[in-house]
Chains A and B, each alone.
Chain A
Amino acid sequence: MSGHGKKFSVHTAGGEEEPEFQVAPMVDVLLVLLMFFTATTTTEIKSQIADLTLPDAQDAKDREKGEGQFVVNINRLGGLEQAGGQSGLTEAALSQLIKKDYESTRKLNPNANYRVLVRADKDLGWEKTKVVLKAAATAGVANVVFATTKGGKG
């Protein structure tokens, strides 16, 4: 919606020369703000799916969008799942999935900085994360990153 010259005015008792309140430009601005906040909220919610609470780290870096990345969620029950994919994975199955994805990424871009992103629940023990590290090492991926939250509780 944009202003098409139609004016909605609020007249005060002062007479014809009083400044008018322009509703159409205000509606334009409001719509833009609304679209902005709607879009950002939806994106953030999408990235925080899975039944887990991330650990907090104040000095963590901002999240990068790598050329190739395999996201593993470890939910609060300790279950391993590929983000947007299979759940209840074993170490061997996870390793196979990472390897397959790594190879297909390298075919497209041999210089891709491929990485495995671990999103584990903060109340878990280290054991499950160790399984993911082993699976990544078996698949030949050296670069592993841990998802955290920054500046708040997860």
Chain B
Amino acid sequence: MAGGGSSDGDYGLQIAPMLDVMFVLLLFFMVMAGKQVKEAELGVQVPGASKAVSTAKTPVTLRVGENGVVSFNDSPVDSRDDREMPKLLAKLKALVEASPDQSVIIRPKDSAPYQRVIDVLNACGAARVKNLTFGG
């Protein structure tokens, strides 16, 4: 797309070059917008500040070790490379189905990988665990 303009010497608005520039800008911003990663969130209630009443049922404890191994009541579940955590998810879903108010406590070690803790939180969210908190 090029050319345009008038032949009689007056300085008219050149539409064709403007369109060229606009197309380039549009393409640039469209590609940039397509590359954007959407920011999302996972929520939890912090113990101590929470006014939640403790449930009578024994809570389930999920431990996250420093090497990323996750334990469900002290028995390891899923391999540490398994980001989806299908076994943990199945267990949590069964628990929530049996008792919707089942409380779950996540106890990560200080050196536990942050991404792994988020994986556990993600599994809890997918299983629709309502009473979720962190322990030391």
Q: Which of B25, B41, B48, B111 contacts A61 (CB 8 A)?
A: B41
The yes or no answer to A142 lying at the interface (CB within 8 A) is: yes
The yes or no answer to B51 lying at the interface (CB within 8 A) is: yes
The yes or no answer to B47 lying at the interface (CB within 8 A) is: yes
Q: Are A148 and B111 in contact (CB under 8 A)?
A: no
The yes or no answer to A83 lying at the interface (CB within 8 A) is: no
Q: Are B41 and A63 in contact (CB under 8 A)?
A: yes
Using known A-B contacts A27-B15, A37-B29, A60-B125, determine if residue A145 contacts B46 with beta carbons closer than 8 Å: no
The yes or no answer to B60 lying at the interface (CB within 8 A) is: no
The yes or no answer to A97 lying at the interface (CB within 8 A) is: no
Q: For A117, what are the chain B residues with a Cβ–Cβ distance below 8 Å? A: 41
Expressed in whole angstroms, the Cα–Cα distance for A154 and B125 within the complex equals 20
Q: Which of A11-19, A51-59, A84-92, A104-112 is near enough to bind chain B?
A: A51-59
Q: Are B39 and A149 in contact (CB under 8 A)?
A: yes
Q: Are A149 and B46 in contact (CB under 8 A)?
A: no
- A-B Cβ contacts below 8 A, count: 167
Q: How many residues of A contact B (CB 8 A)?
A: 58
Q: Are A23 and B15 in contact (CB under 8 A)?
A: yes
Q: Are A142 and B39 in contact (CB under 8 A)?
A: no
Expressed in whole angstroms, the Cα–Cα distance for A47 and B64 within the complex equals 30
Using known A-B contacts A37-B29, A151-B37, determine if residue A60 contacts B117 with beta carbons closer than 8 Å: no
Query: 1/0 per position for A130-152, CB-CB distance to B under 8 A?
Result: 10010011111111111111111
Expressed in whole angstroms, the Cα–Cα distance for A39 and B117 within the complex equals 34
Q: Is the interface of B mostly helix, strand, loop or mixed?
A: mixed
Q: Are A127 and B110 in contact (CB under 8 A)?
A: yes
Expressed in whole angstroms, the Cα–Cα distance for A149 and B125 within the complex equals 15
Q: Are A44 and B36 in contact (CB under 8 A)?
A: yes
The yes or no answer to B32 lying at the interface (CB within 8 A) is: yes
The yes or no answer to A48 lying at the interface (CB within 8 A) is: yes
Q: Are A146 and B29 in contact (CB under 8 A)?
A: no
19 residue pairs from A and B, CB less than 8 Å apart = A26-B19, A31-B22, A41-B32, A41-B33, A56-B83, A59-B122, A59-B126, A62-B38, A63-B38, A117-B41, A122-B115, A123-B114, A126-B109, A126-B111, A136-B46, A138-B48, A142-B51, A150-B38, A154-B37
**A residues within 8 Å of B by Cβ?**
8, 23, 26-27, 30-31, 33-34, 37-38, 40-41, 44, 47-48, 54-64, 115, 117, 120-127, 129-130, 133, 136-154
